[in-house]
Amino acid sequence: MKAYVDEIDSPAGPLAFAVNEDGALMRLHFLKSDYGPVMEEELQDEGYAVEADEARTAGVRKELSEYVNGRRKTFDAPLAFVGSEWQKTVWMELTRIPFGETRSYGEIADNLGRPGAARAVGRANASNVLPVVVPCHRVIAADGTLGGFNGGLHLKERLLEHERNVLAAAGS
């Protein structure tokens, strides 16, 4: 198994990302994150041979660049989800949160027909390895506070601010 890695700047600092042999996005990691090992180490621990190949990462790089430059609000790149059925269901629901908007953990649980499962939504969010593209930064606590974020709240704040700024500049 091979994973192809690349990096791009973002409103939350540099991002590393990896695609699989089919071109599906399998990891996205904030390089200035507060938590977790380096993405390449995780992939190697899982048995992947890690290589740089700009041709293989070009599609995801283009979409991330468009997001960073305020020209993309949704992503079309194929995603390689690895997780439980519940996690995958939550992650797919996150992709439905519109750019620049937020939802509470409870709202996500309600949307999935699981009222009272806000904590389970939070646990699925915490295990999301595709932040930005699967926008867990758009999920907040019921009281409007930011809650947690895998890379650190400072990164979540920067991503939400970026989206607000893009919408404000567009007059939305």
The domain total for the chain is: 2
Q: Are residues 115 and 42 in the same domain?
A: no
Q: Are residues 101 and 28 in the same domain?
A: no
- pLDDT attached to residue 35: 58
For residue 17, what are the CA distances in angstroms to 22, 32, 41? Answer: 14, 13, 13
Residue 74 lies in a domain: no
Q: Are residues 160 and 89 in the same domain?
A: yes
**Which residues does the annotation mark as catalytic?**
136
Residue ranges making up the domain that contains 45: 2-68
Q: Write the pLDDT tens digit of every residue in 59-118.
A: 999 999 999 999 999 999 999 999 999 999 999 999 999 999 999 999 999 999 999 999
CA atoms within 13 A on the CB side of 133: 29
Q: Write the pLDDT tens digit of every residue in 127-160.
A: 999 999 999 999 999 998 888 777 788 889 999 9
Residue 73 lies in a domain: no
pTM tops 0.85, yes or no:
yes
Higher pLDDT, 36 or 166: 166
Q: Are residues 120 and 51 in the same domain?
A: no
User: CB–CB of 46/3 below 8 Å?
Assistant: no
Helices 85-94 and 118-126 sit at what angle, rounded to 10 degrees? 90
Q: Write the pLDDT tens digit of every residue in 28-50.
A: 998 877 655 688 999 999 999 99
Q: Are residues 113 and 53 in the same domain?
A: no
Residue 18 lies in a domain: yes
Residue 75 lies in a domain: no
Q: Are residues 132 and 55 in the same domain?
A: no
- Whether 170 shows a pLDDT value over 90: the answer reads no
- pLDDT attached to residue 154: 85
CATH number of the structural domain spanning residue 146: 1.10.10.10
